[in-house]
Amino acid sequence: MIRITAKEAAEKLLKQDNIFVLMHRSPDGDTIGCGYALCMALQQIGKKARPLCADEIPQSYEYFTNGVEMQEFDAEYIVTVDVADRRLLGDLEMLYGDKVDLCIDHHGSNREFAEYGVIAADAPACAQIMPEVIEGMGAKITMQIADALFTGLTTDTGCFRYTGVTAQTHRTASYLIEKGARSGMINRLMFETKPKRQVMLEKLAMESLQYFCGEQVALICITTEMMQKSGALDHDAESIPSIPRQIEGVKVAVTVKQKADDYFRISLRTTDEIDASEICRALGGGGHRAAAGCSYHGTLKDAVDTIVRLSSEAVENAV
Amino acid sequence: MIRITAKEAAEKLLKQDNIFVLMHRSPDGDTIGCGYALCMALQQIGKKARPLCADEIPQSYEYFTNGVEMQEFDAEYIVTVDVADRRLLGDLEMLYGDKVDLCIDHHGSNREFAEYGVIAADAPACAQIMPEVIEGMGAKITMQIADALFTGLTTDTGCFRYTGVTAQTHRTASYLIEKGARSGMINRLMFETKPKRQVMLEKLAMESLQYFCGEQVALICITTEMMQKSGALDHDAESIPSIPRQIEGVKVAVTVKQKADDYFRISLRTTDEIDASEICRALGGGGHRAAAGCSYHGTLKDAVDTIVRLSSEAVENAV
Tell me how far apart the alpha carbons of residues A138 and A9 are, in angstroms, rounded to a whole number: 12
Percent of chain A predicted with pLDDT > 90: 88
Return the sign of the alpha-carbon dihedral for residues A262, A265, A268, A274.
Answer: positive
Q: What are phi and psi of A77, to 5 degrees?
A: -145, 135
A209·B192 Cβ contact <8 A: no
- Name the residue among A161, A202, A215 with its Cβ closest to that of B191: A161
For residue B158, the model assigns a pLDDT of 85
Q: What CA–CA distance (Å, rounded) separates B252 from B63?
A: 39
- pLDDT score of A239: 82
- What's the confidence (pLDDT) of residue B286? 81
CB A37 within 8 A of CB A145: yes
Residue B241: the pLDDT is 86
- pLDDT value at A287 more than 90: no
Mean pLDDT of B31-39: 98
- Per-residue pLDDT reduced to its tens digit, B5-18: 999 999 999 999 99
* Residue B319 pLDDT > 80: no
Which conformational region is residue A160 in: left (phi greater than 0), alpha (psi within -120 to 50 degrees), or beta? left
pLDDT band, very low/low/confident/very high, at B285 (cuts 50, 70, 90): confident
pLDDT for the residue B216: 96
Chain A residues touching residue B207 (CB < 8 angstroms): 203
Indicate whether B288 pLDDT > 80.
Answer: no
Check whether B312 has a pLDDT greater than 90. yes
What integer is the mean pLDDT of A39-62? 97
What tens digit of pLDDT does each residue of B246-281 get? 899 999 999 999 999 999 999 998 888 899 989 999
Among A167, A187, A199, select the one facing B247 at the smallest CB separation.
A199
Report the C-alpha gap between B296 and B257 in whole angstroms.
10
Whether residues A167 and B175 touch (CB distance < 8 A) is answered with yes
**Nearest-CA neighbor of B265 among B242, B288, B234, B289?**
B234
Q: Reading across the β-sheet that carries B2-3, which strands appear in turn? A: B2-3, B116-119, B102-105, B77-81, B19-22, B49-52
- What is the average per-residue pLDDT within A158-162? 90
Quote the mean pLDDT of chain B.
Answer: 94
Residue A2 CB coordination number (10 Å): 9
Tell me the shortest Cα–Cα distance from B267 to chain A, in angstroms: 18
* Rounded CA Rg of chain B: 22
State pLDDT tens for residues A88-103. Answer: 999 999 999 999 999 9
Query: Residue B160 and residue A164: Cβ atoms within 8 Å?
Result: no
B184 or A5, higher pLDDT: A5
Beta-carbon contacts of B305 under 8 Å, excluding residues fewer than 6 positions away, are none
- B194 DSSP β-pair partners: A247
Least confident of A27-36, A88-97, A108-117, B231-240: B231-240
pLDDT at A242: 85
For residues B189-200, average pLDDT: 89
B215-245 pLDDT tens trace: 999 999 999 999 999 999 887 887 888 899 8
Nearest to A159 among B161, B177, B245 (CB): B161
Show the 3-state SS of A171-186. Answer: HHHHHHHHCCCCHHHH
A183-197, B232-246, B292-306 — which one is most confidently predicted on average? Answer: B292-306
Distances (CA, A) of B199 to A248, B222, B292: 10, 13, 25
Do residue A161 and residue B187 have CB atoms under 8 angstroms apart?
A: yes
* Backbone φ, ψ for residue A233 (5° rounding): -90, 165
B287 has a pLDDT exceeding 80: no
Once rounded to an integer, what is the mean pLDDT over residues B161-187?
94
Averaged confidence pLDDT in chain A: 95
* HEC per residue, chain A: CEECCHHHHHHHHHCCCCEEEECCCCCCHHHHHHHHHHHHHHHHCCCCEEEECCCCCCHHHHHHHCCCCCCCCCCCEEEEECCCCHHHHHHHHHHHCCCCCEEEECCCCCCCCCCEEEECCCCCCHHHCHHHHHHHCCCCCCHHHHHHHHHHHHHHCCCCCCCCCCHHHHHHHHHHHHCCCCHHHHHHHHHCCECHHHHHHHHHHHHCCEEECCCCEEEEEECHHHHHHHCCCHHHHHHCCHHHHCECCCCEEEEEEEEECCEEEEEEEECCCCCHHHHHHCCCCEECCCEEEEEEECCHHHHHHHHHHHHHHHHHHHC
Nearest in space to A63 (alpha carbons), one of A186, A202, A232: A186
Q: How far apart, in whole angstroms, are the C-alpha atoms of residue B132 and residue A81?
A: 39
Under 8 Å CB-to-CB from B317, ≥6 apart: which residues? Answer: none
CB atoms A159 and B160 under 8 Å:
yes
Which chain A residues contact residue B171 at CB under 8 A?
170-171, 174
pLDDT band at A119 (very low <50, low <70, confident <90, very high): very high
The residues with which B295 forms a beta bridge, in sequence order, are B265
Cβ contacts (< 8 Å) between B202 and chain A: which residues?
Answer: 206
Rounded percentage of chain A residues whose pLDDT exceeds 70: 100
Position B310 scores a pLDDT of 97
Given a cut of 90, is residue B179 above it in pLDDT? yes
CA distance B28 to chain A (A): 19
Return the pLDDT at B141.
Answer: 98
Average pLDDT over residues B25-38: 95
Q: pLDDT tens for residues B71-105? A: 999 999 999 999 999 999 999 999 999 999 999 99
Reply yes or no on whether the pLDDT at B167 is more than 90. yes
Residues of B in Cβ contact (< 8 Å) with A192: 161, 245-246
Chosen for mutation from B60, B153, B160, B230 (greatest number of chain A CBs closer than 10 Å) is B160
Question: What is the reported pLDDT for B289?
Answer: 80
H or E element: which one contains B306? helix B300-318
